[in-house]
């Protein structure tokens, strides 16, 4: 395959694997799904994302914050309360997740025919 | 979150993680990308997918065959030649990969601003 095409291919590949990296892994999707349904406190999220440890939830939320998909808001209550929500940018995942869902559903229908 | 919504959520989650599983990992995408550009013999694929071992390429191609995304054709030449190609169904990945690319490109622009 001409060197030029290979280069183009690799350039195309990078953003695709970036997007996959953001969503892959056992916990990212359940967390993002829960936040699509509304803002959550830490304990609420931990209850909803079955089986996740506090340490892992903190790490995954940190990743999502760094990637500007999740916002952490601290409320000046007593005691202080912390809430997690999807950012406006985080909501742009909806179209991609819908496309993944549609393809995945089609795949399940084909494979489990 | 009402139990009913949680159930619905989990039902939505499964096809999404299925789609991610099919594309995730270091080698699936480079193999699929190469096959989008045309049919390939084993050695050709191994040359193009930099760093992949013969054993790993066989395993990944087997996975893709089981998932009906790739077809293996044996030609009655002497010696026998074997060619790999995307199935019609495998080509339905194009829309999903394009969506992943668009989101990933947007993400790179935002993160590396």
Dump pLDDT digits (tens) for B36-64: 999 999 999 999 999 999 999 999 999 99
User: Is A37 a residue whose pLDDT tops 60?
Assistant: yes
pLDDT digits (tens, 9 = 90+) for B60-108: 999 999 999 999 999 999 999 999 999 999 999 999 999 999 999 999 8
What confidence category does residue B25 fall into, taking pLDDT thresholds of 50, 70 and 90? Answer: confident
- Higher pLDDT among residues A111 and A64, named by residue: A64
Most confident of A13-27, B19-33, B54-68: B54-68
User: Mean pLDDT lowest for which of A33-37, B10-14, B20-24?
Assistant: B10-14
Which chain B residues touch A67 with a CB distance below 8 Å? 107, 111
Q: Which residues of B touch A30 (CB under 8 A)?
A: 13
Average pLDDT value for residue range B21-43 = 93
- Please give the Cα distance from B14 to A111 (Å, whole number): 14
Measured between beta carbons, the chain A residues lying within 8 angstroms of B15 are 100-105, 107-108
B95 with A95: Cβ contact below 8 A: no
Q: What share of chain B is helix, strand, coil (3-state, %, to 5)?
A: 65, 10, 25
Residues from B in contact with A at Cβ < 8 Å? 1, 5-6, 9, 12-20, 22-24, 29-30, 33-34, 37-38, 48, 67-68, 89, 92-93, 95-97, 99-108, 110-111
In tens, the pLDDT along A55-70 reads: 999 999 999 999 999 9
Give the DSSP per-residue string, chain A.
--HHHHHHHHHHHHHHHHHHHHH-SSSHHHHHHHHHT--EEHHHHHHHSTT--HHHHHHHHHHHHHTTSEEEEEE--SS-EEEEEE-TTGGGHHHHHHHHHHHHHHHHHHHT-
Task: Flag if A33 and B9 touch (Cβ within 8 Å).
Answer: yes
Name every chain A residue with its beta carbon within 8 A of the beta carbon of B5. Answer: 37
b/e map B32-64, b = 16+ CB within 10 Å: bbbbeeeebebeebbebbeebeeeebeebbebb
Quote the pLDDT of residue A84. Answer: 98
Architecture of domain B3-111: Orthogonal Bundle (1.10)
Taking 90 as the threshold, does the pLDDT of residue A102 lie above it?
Answer: yes
Token representation of residue B1? 């979150």
d(CA A53, CA A23): 19
Q: How confident is the model at residue A1 (pLDDT cuts 50, 70, 90)?
A: low
Mean pLDDT, chain A, rounded, equals 91
Q: Strand B81-86 and strand B40-41: pairing?
A: antiparallel
């Amino acid at each position: 395959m001409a060197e030029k095409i290979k280069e183009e291919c690799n350039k195309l590949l990078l953003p695709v694997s970036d997007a996959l990296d953001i969503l892959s892994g056992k916990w990212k999707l359940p967390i993002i799904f829960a936040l699509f349904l509304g803002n959550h406190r830490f304990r609420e999220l931990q209850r909803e994302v079955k089986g996740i440890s506090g340490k892992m939830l903190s790490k995954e939320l940190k990743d999502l914050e760094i990637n500007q998909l999740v916002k952490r808001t601290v409320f000046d209550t007593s005691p202080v309360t912390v809430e997690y929500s999807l950012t406006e940018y985080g909501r742009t995942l909806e179209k991609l997740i819908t496309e993944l869902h549609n393809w995945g559903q089609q795949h399940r229908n084909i494979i489990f025919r």
